Amino acid sequence: MIGRFREAVKLIWPEFYPKISGRLNPYFTIADYRKIWGIGITLLTATALVPLAVATITYYQMVQRLVDSELVLRTERVASNARRAVTFFFEERLDALKFTVNEIGFDQLTDADHLLAVLRNLRLGFGGLADLSVIADTGVQIAYAGPFKFEEKNYGNQVWFEECKQHNYYVSETFNGYRNVPHMIIAVKGLRPDGSFFILRATLETERLFQTLSSYEPGAHADIFLTNRSFMLQTPSKYYGDIFEKMSLPPLNYSRKTQTVMSIDNKLRSIITGYAFITTKQTGTPFVLMVVKQKAGMIGALLAVRSNFNWVVGLGTLIIVVVVTVLCTIMVNLLFRADRSKAETMVLMEQSNRLASIGQLAAGVAHEINNPLALINQAAGYIKDLFIIEKRYQNDEVIMESIDCILDAGDKCAVITKQLLGFARNVDTKIQKVNLREVISDVLIFHEKEAVYRNISIAVSMPKENLEIETDPGKLEQILLNLVTNAFHAMEDGRSLKIQASASNEEAVVISVSDNGCGIPKENRQKIFEPFFSTKPKDRGTGLGLAITYGLVKKLHGSISVESRENEGTTFTITLPICIREEEGKNEDTPGG
């Protein structure tokens, strides 16, 4: 379970994120993986999200248009119905007064008792009638029925009187009457038999009008009210001011028909206003009917759906972004790993090429030196022969010592050239029988001088009988040389190196290289076989030695392990098969470096 989790984390962990640096850098094909990652995520996310965003916005706009047109239609219907009702309210009352004037006539109406009877009858018919009065063409009130005493009051210079005289009918705005209750007056002109006119005037309580209006109120977030033509409220409004106050909505243009406009109110609510200028068939009125609906209230359910839809879109967007990011990370990671392993291979190849050319150089040098060396050896040998066989200088110790000195030096040189030639040649040798003792002593030759002047003792312990294995001597030499070189680097002067070889069973031998040097810290032990891991100063270590060694041991079908204690020493142990099958050996195409 934990392992799987780790694998998953490894898959999506952005290994490419830290800046590439160091020795691998020049071998990477792509320099900036972060940029590729960023571009990938941006492009893929955009490709996925742009159509989603466009579809969502288009959908919202379409729904909004549909809802708006539906709302407008509904508001217009309410306004239109209310307008008809209000118009009828006034027409009915004006007609009743007109009927009274024509039917009863001036003479009877001016009789106080008769007028009172008419008032009572009209109240029965319509209700809400406060008083009735008859005004002569001079403007003087000549009869009154009602709760107050207004007899002989002169209205001759009042606007309404003039209006009624001219247009035969009159409807007033609402106003606060004597009892501080909103009232309005309507008046009708009648003709007397002598041709002069009189006016029948009625005061209406507005309660009935309010009731008529509020019966059309279309819901909680809606308002219905009347204003005059300068938009002073004539009936109370729920949201836009009290009666007789200025309406807190922008003014509207005159229109003969019912109109609907969309706007924003003083509290920044989106509203739909249906309005109509009330005109009766007899005369115009000062009233404007207003029906105001708040969109938010009416489309609450729709907004809830929209909010759900927004959640779905948001969640979808989140999923897209996460999936795109994870996918991009995995892809770029894979790309990065492939590139890195290519770069590592390139570095290893460069290293092995370098080692191969060092081998070739060594072989070349040894080759060229060998012939003159053979000559020196022969010449010195001849001189010695002359001395010994001819017995001329047989007793001259100084000359004999000199000759021996030349011969010794020649022999040593011969060993080294043989060594170099053998070492270089082994780069392409095949599997063959190898004597471990010889290989170990060949390897130690390279460190003999250093061991002497650093006072490092070297102990080799092996079983007495010859330990022979079938393997690739070149690779084995390289392995041991790397291990011994590392041990020398780890030790201070005066320490000791121990090499042990033994047959562990019939199929394998074990070779261990131990030093009592500085040891490997625990935290580094896991990493020492990784390429480019090095704790040595830059000019001394490439970080490849143990990685190559590890690879070579694997090529020889062996295994390598390390035991170390800090400040006490390190032991590398390699186990190699005594016999490698020929086919396996043939498959090795490249030398181990």
User: Where do contacts with another protein occur on this chain (CB under 8 A)?
Assistant: 366-367, 370-371, 373-379, 381-382, 385-386, 389-390, 410-411, 414, 418, 421, 425, 429, 432
CB of 466 to another protein, least distance (A): 19
Report the residue number, 344 or 470, with the smaller CB distance to another protein.
Answer: 470
Q: How far is CA 537 from each of CA 470, 491, 541, rounded to the nearest angstrom? A: 37, 15, 6
CB of 373 to another protein, least distance (A): 6
Report the residue number, 406 or 458, with the smaller CB distance to another protein.
Answer: 406
The amino acid sitting at 592 is: G
Report the residue number, 115 or 380, with the smaller CB distance to another protein.
Answer: 380
**Alpha carbons 574 and 512: distance in angstroms, whole number:** 6
**Alpha carbons 51 and 566: distance in angstroms, whole number:** 63
Report the residue number, 385 or 438, with the smaller CB distance to another protein.
Answer: 385
Q: How far is CA 273 from each of CA 81, 211, 265, 293, rounded to the nearest angstrom? A: 14, 20, 10, 6
Beta bridge partners of 461: 500
Report the residue number, 78 or 424, with the smaller CB distance to another protein.
Answer: 424
CB of 387 to another protein, least distance (A): 11
Report the residue number, 246 or 430, with the smaller CB distance to another protein.
Answer: 430
Contact present, 424 and 366 (Cβ < 8 Å): yes
Cβ atoms within 10 A of the Cβ of 327, count? 14
CB of 333 to another protein, least distance (A): 48
CB of 394 to another protein, least distance (A): 14
Helices (H), 436-567: 436-445, 448-453, 473-490, 522-525, 545-555
The amino acid sitting at 492 is: E
Q: Which residue, 137, 261, 147, is CA-closest to 192? A: 137
User: What angle do the packed helices 545-555 and 300-389 form, to 10 degrees?
Assistant: 80
Report the residue number, 80 or 429, with the smaller CB distance to another protein.
Answer: 429
CB of 473 to another protein, least distance (A): 10
419 by Cβ neighbours in 10 Å (0-12 / 13-18 / 19+) ranks as: middle
CB of 433 to another protein, least distance (A): 12
Terminal alpha carbon distance of the chain: 41
Phi/psi for 535 (5° steps) reads: -110, 0
Report the residue number, 273 or 417, with the smaller CB distance to another protein.
Answer: 417
CB of 511 to another protein, least distance (A): 23
Report the residue number, 131 or 442, with the smaller CB distance to another protein.
Answer: 442
CB of 590 to another protein, least distance (A): 19
The amino acid sitting at 302 is: L
Report the residue number, 313 or 414, with the smaller CB distance to another protein.
Answer: 414
CB of 436 to another protein, least distance (A): 18
Q: Residue 22 region, left (φ>0) first, then alpha (ψ -120 to 50), else beta? A: left
Q: Which two tokens stand for residue 428?
A: 């392409």
**Alpha carbons 564 and 423: distance in angstroms, whole number:** 30
Report the residue number, 57 or 379, with the smaller CB distance to another protein.
Answer: 379
CB of 371 to another protein, least distance (A): 5
Q: How far is CA 458 from each of CA 484, 487, 499, 569, rounded to the nearest angstrom? A: 10, 11, 8, 15
Residue showing tokens 């069973």:
505
CB of 554 to another protein, least distance (A): 25
**Alpha carbons 217 and 81: distance in angstroms, whole number:** 11
CB of 492 to another protein, least distance (A): 39
DSSP string, 333-360: HHHHHHHHHHHHHHHHHHHHHHHHHHHH
Report the residue number, 368 or 568, with the smaller CB distance to another protein.
Answer: 368
- What does DSSP say about strands 141-145 and 129-136: parallel, antiparallel, or unpaired? antiparallel
Question: What DSSP state is assigned to residue 173?
Answer: P
Report the residue number, 57 or 386, with the smaller CB distance to another protein.
Answer: 386
**Alpha carbons 245 and 233: distance in angstroms, whole number:** 6
